Structure 1
Amino acid sequence: MLLVGRGHAQRQASTWSGLRGYMLVLMPVVACCSVGWLYLSLESDVTETLVRHGEVLQQPRVFGVPCSEDYNNYKRYPGCTPQRCGRAVTDSVVTREEAQVLRRLAERGLSLGGSEGGASILDLHSGALSMGKQFVNIYRYFGEQIRGIFSEEDFHLYREVRSRIQNVIADTFGLDSSHMYLTKPTFFSRINSTAAKTTHDEYWHPHIDKETYGSFDYTSLLYLSDYEIDFGGGRFIFMDADGNRTVEPRVGELGWG
């Protein structure tokens, strides 16, 4: 999910209906960021719709937020740590066709396992795959069978998309993209309406990546499903002191912060 800083929000569940929602979450390491919370919800207390499903953003829609003072407690890196913070959304980094290819890649990988609860992940870097109530390493667990699941073309597109996302984050916040590095986890996520079986399935809680993973400073989320077509509920919400801002995602839409 997108990186956010410190804030306050109550925990609220969201409701998913219809087909499954897929997304790709990338977490490049740099230093800094923003104030607020992030969660997925169907609740009606949203004060502003930042991006509606029918909108196609050819240029990033960016809004600034004050940088959290918490980041003064972390080492800063010249040319990497930004002087401004915010959130952004665009449809111009990944085409709809490329997003559909990535979704098929995720579907093939997740078909090898899947969580007993509502949230399943596939991490191509570490090999982590949800299976029942635990995780397995697909490269060790399936061995040579993996060669028939993923192709070189799949990995080429995956690397290309990762590079584009890294560059747009750098451009947005005035960073040197060569100083940014990808950390773990970097994963595909599939969420459906199955009841949660473990804490890993409880995707709906307000979320602060910096508190969960100390090495994270930015996170991006690329949607591979359409709101109100592939799934209902589960909108993407930035939670800030001055109100909530929601995104009604579409295939190929990228959010970061």
Structure 2
Amino acid sequence: MAPQRRAGSRTAESGGAGAGARAQESRRLSSVMKGNGQKDSRRKWLKVAFLLSSAMLGYLLSGSYLLSEEGVTEVLAHYGEIVKDKFIEVPCSEDYDSHKRFEGCTPRKCGRGITDAIISRVEAERIRRIAEKGLSLGGSDGGASILDLHSGALSLGKHFVNMYRYFGDKVHDTFTEEDFHLYSEVRQRIQQKIALAFGISSSSMYLTKPTFFSRINNSEAKTAHDEYWHPHIDKVTYGSFDYTSLLYLSDYTEDFGGGRFVFMDEGANRTVEPRAGRVSFFTSGSENLHRVEKVHWGTRYAITISFTCNPDHGIGDPVLT
């Protein structure tokens, strides 16, 4: 007679198998939950990292700093803001020591200033029309054209001509006495502002050459004169310059892209974004090494007006002859 198995043994075996299965299932669930937990943790870190990077990018792009080809750039004046008066003092270079000094004028305090408060946008539009009318007579084949009302220098193709001689009576049909009067009035306001900012007498400053309108677009440079983007120092380039100013006649991002003015300081590049009516001014020595970014699209208009402390290098306001 075959031996009979005890029911209890089957139950025990069944229970043992069930316990093993449950333990295996428990380990599987634990592993899944652990995996899901790790995934959730990674997702949370990725989300945090994304938010942090987004916040940093937003700060860099919309705050006071931008990433550029040259590294970190501080924006001294955004095109969309109205700057009443801003002045940044910087140590003077030794450039002025190699020139005759004029007490009460030669810079002892150096720096750079920006203001939107002395030339209105309406006046800037009127001045821009002067540039447009004059440059309609000529213009460079490359990306940069100039018009100098004092000397008559005008870009024409790959060369320059004296527009007063080259076009003769046509110049009188192009400009008006009011144009030249406005030019003189604006120059005087800028001169007074520079004198106030640097603590000197405006009567000790003299307008100097070259003082000129510029029109820049993205046309390919044809001559060295079209390569406006190279870093330079006005005191080294022109000699007579002690104070330089620029009056912008068009708007960055609205009328053109690129074309910002860049102060090239050690370890940083600080820019001024052009805005019609905005005046940027600075001492002309190597403490203010600078350049203009290439214009990528549109047309940028400005006028450079510079001053000397040496009366021998002074010039008068232009007149319509």
Q: Report sequence identity in percent.
A: 67
Structure of greater Rg: 2
- Look up the match of 1:187: 212
Give the AA of the match of 2:179.
Answer: D
- Look up the match of 1:235: 260
Deviation, 1:234, is 1.2
For each residue in 1:18-74, what CA deviation from the matched residue of structure 2 results, as whole angstroms up to 9, or x when unmatched? xxxxxxxxxxxxxxxxxxxxxxxx73624311111111012x211011000222121
For each residue in 1:203-256, what CA deviation from the matched residue of structure 2 results, as whole angstroms up to 9, or x when unmatched? 111011111111111110010010001000111111112411111111011001
Deviates more, 1:194-203 or 1:240-249: 240-249
Whether contact under 8 Å (1:46, 1:246) holds in the other structure is: no
Write the distance in 2 (CA, Å) between the matches of 1:255 and 1:124. 21
- Look up the match of 2:79: 53
Write the distance in 2 (CA, Å) between the matches of 1:167 and 1:77. 18
Write the distance in 1 (CA, Å) between the matches of 2:127 and 2:240. 26
Write the distance in 2 (CA, Å) between the matches of 1:253 and 1:75. 32
Give matches, 1:190-205, under 5 Å.
190-205=215-230
Give matches, 1:97-108, under 5 Å.
97-108=122-133
For each residue in 1:170-208, what CA deviation from the matched residue of structure 2 results, as whole angstroms up to 9, or x when unmatched? 111011111111111110000000000011100111011
What is the TM-score normalised by the length of structure 1?
0.81
Give the AA of the match of 1:90.
Answer: T
Deviates more, 1:77-86 or 1:223-232: 77-86
- Look up the match of 2:113: 88
Give matches, 1:14-53, under 5 Å.
43=69, 45-53=71-79
Q: 3-state SS of the aligned residue for 1:183?
A: strand
- Look up the match of 1:19: none
Q: Which protein is richer in helix relative to its size?
A: 2
Write the distance in 1 (CA, Å) between the matches of 2:123 and 2:222. 32
Q: 3-state SS of the aligned residue for 1:79?
A: coil
**Counterpart pick for 2:240 among 211, 215, 228:** 215
Whether contact under 8 Å (2:263, 2:270) holds in the other structure is: yes
Whether contact under 8 Å (2:73, 2:270) holds in the other structure is: yes
**Counterpart pick for 1:249 among 230, 255, 274:** 274
For each residue in 1:123-157, what CA deviation from the matched residue of structure 2 results, as whole angstroms up to 9, or x when unmatched? 00000000001100111011111111100111110
Q: Which has the higher contact order (CA 8 A, sep 6+)?
A: 1
What is the TM-score normalised by the length of structure 2?
0.65
CA 1:201–1:76 in 2, change beyond 3 Å: closer, same or farther?
Answer: same
Whether contact under 8 Å (1:82, 1:174) holds in the other structure is: no
Give the number of equivalent residue pairs.
215
For each residue in 1:101-121, what CA deviation from the matched residue of structure 2 results, as whole angstroms up to 9, or x when unmatched? 010110010000000000000
Unaligned runs of 5+ in 1: 1-41
**Counterpart pick for 2:173 among 122, 134, 148:** 148
Unaligned runs of 5+ in 2: 1-67, 283-321
